[in-house]
Amino acid sequence: MLCAAVTATFATAAVPAFAAEDAAFWYQDGQAALAEAKRLHPNMRRAKNVIFFVGDGMGVSTVTAARILEGQLQNRDGERNQLAFERLPYLALSKTYSVNQQTPDSAPTMTAMVSGIKTNDGMFGIAPAVQRGEKDGAVIDANKVASLLQLAERAGRATGVVTTARVTHATPGATYAHTSERNWERDTQVPAGATARDIASQLIDNFGAGKVGDGIEVVLGGGRREFLPNTLNDPEDAGAKGRRGDGRNLAAEFERKFNGQFVWDKAGFDNFDPASGKRLLGLFAQSHMEYEHDRANDTGGEPSIAEMTGKAIEVLKHNDKGFFLMVEGGRIDHAHHAGNAYRALTDTIALSDAVRKAMEMTDPEDTLIVVSADHSHVFTIAGYPKRGNPILGKVVTPGKNAPDYALAQDGNPYTTVSYANGRGYHVDVPGDDVYGAPVAAGRVADMRSVDTTDPDFHQEALVPLSAETHAGEDVAIYAGGPKAHLFHGTREQNYIFHVMQDAFRGKHGGKDDGANEHD
């Protein structure tokens, strides 16, 4: 149960010497930034490798708040802090609407980013001519579109998928599967009589002899239940079993078909040798992996998203033709849906750590790194808090100190961050579950004695809904490496694919790699 807490857990930030930021400081700061920008030169080389990071639900307000929180947790100036991907030199905006919705879900947005076309909500890897929930597999196959991962496989490159969500969830699933319904993650979720295929089986069946490429080299994330039969005990969770009804053990099939190794805990992950020549399937949870804040308490232990990214690169780099890797911070989205800003922001910081790891392990001369989001959330940063005020705290205006909080018209303090809709704030009542029925609209508590920086605090929401929703504004694209300069201006979301594909195109070592195909 997540509920409001009254004990302080937030790191107390040392007050930076903001007074030193006089006119001369800011003028010199601007001149230094200008000089750095003038030293930029477009990298026109062909990319050997492309790494695509997706912060699921990582809108601009999420990036801003995570930047500040990271600095404050480290007793540094949060406002002037930068997340790792904010140091990438090129930036653009992405328009996230889908063919049929102003505010999208992750299925069509990921299709746009990895397949180059926009489609309808709830489905991925197929053209918008198909209706959501189409049961005829022949119709789906006739309208499928190739992803960049599939094109990389076709060209003989190594490929990888890393996520903190289920690997069958919409964002990772769109890299290797084609479906008219994103919720058909396993066979028992596909309607009786349908010839459409479930998502998990496509991770195995879409690759190999007569298919696209020779199989994905590394797959890391959650969703073990979608791969194991309902007759098999889960290796980690006592009393749990797989949920497949067709008897297939897809983890075992991965090992046999692709010379792979299946691991399910931190020990198995750590012991896997990237130089072994084996492929790696790591499924570390029945469903989604833990939030970063809760990861240390997992029964079998879970690697961080940075550790998974590092291991994936170590596996993939052995292919002389290069590789394509997709990494998703999937639980940023889930925490926002729950109205829990702390976990959303700390998972964003964890994604930043993964980007930093990738930047350290690759050469910007031959590796394109792109970081973006599929959509935003209705998460706001508001009020007039003074510089250095805890980003998750209650608003204290310049010249004031807690507990002299700014007050709303109802006479109660309010927080800097909140949500436009969602579950809202629940009073800490014994037995009260934050995931229970929505509260009434409006303010529900005097938060003077509540520690709003506690990881378990759920921010207030204006409109009561069963869950907070996505938002429809543009999201950012950050990029560095070959062809990264092509990210500029405000672009349709499917443009991301076309830049990444173009970075892979051309001749390398005097031979065309064939990766400029698309079906």
Name the residues annotated as catalytic. Answer: 106
Residue 451 in marked binding region: no
Render 90-158 in DSSP notation, one character per residue. Answer: EEEEEE---SS-SS--HHHHHHHHHHS----TT-BSB-TTSPTT---HHHHHHTB---HHHHHHHTT-E
Residue 333 in marked binding region: yes
Residue 134 in marked binding region: no
Residue 171 in marked binding region: yes
Task: Name the burial class of residue 31, with classes exposed (0-12), middle (13-18) and buried (19+) by CB atoms within 10 angstroms of its CB.
Answer: exposed
Task: Name the burial class of residue 193, with classes exposed (0-12), middle (13-18) and buried (19+) by CB atoms within 10 angstroms of its CB.
Answer: exposed
Residue 456 in marked binding region: no
Distance in angstroms (rounded) separating the CA atoms of residues 436 and 432: 8
Distance in angstroms (rounded) separating the CA atoms of residues 139 and 336: 35
Q: 442 is written with which tokens?
A: 């409006």
Distance in angstroms (rounded) separating the CA atoms of residues 51 and 406: 44
The helix-helix angle for 341-361 and 60-73 (nearest 10°) equals 80
The helix-helix angle for 106-115 and 495-504 (nearest 10°) equals 30
Residue 141 in marked binding region: no
Residues 6+ apart with CB under 8 A from 363: none
Q: 242 is written with which tokens?
A: 């797989």
Q: What is the dihedral of CA 66, 51, 356, 346, to 10 degrees?
A: 30
Residue 518 in marked binding region: no
Residues 6+ apart with CB under 8 A from 29: none
Residue 375 in marked binding region: yes
Identify the residue whose tokens are 């994905």: 216
Distance in angstroms (rounded) separating the CA atoms of residues 373 and 330: 10
Preceding amide of 403 cis, omega within 30? yes
Residues 6+ apart with CB under 8 A from 311: 218, 220, 269, 272, 274, 280, 303
- What letter represents residue 171's amino acid? T
Residue 41 in marked binding region: no
Q: Which residues are annotated as a binding site for Zn(2+)?
A: 56, 333, 337, 374-375, 470
| Residues making up the binding site for Mg(2+) | 56, 169, 171, 328
* Residue stretches of the annotated binding site: 56, 169, 171, 328, 333, 337, 374-375, 470
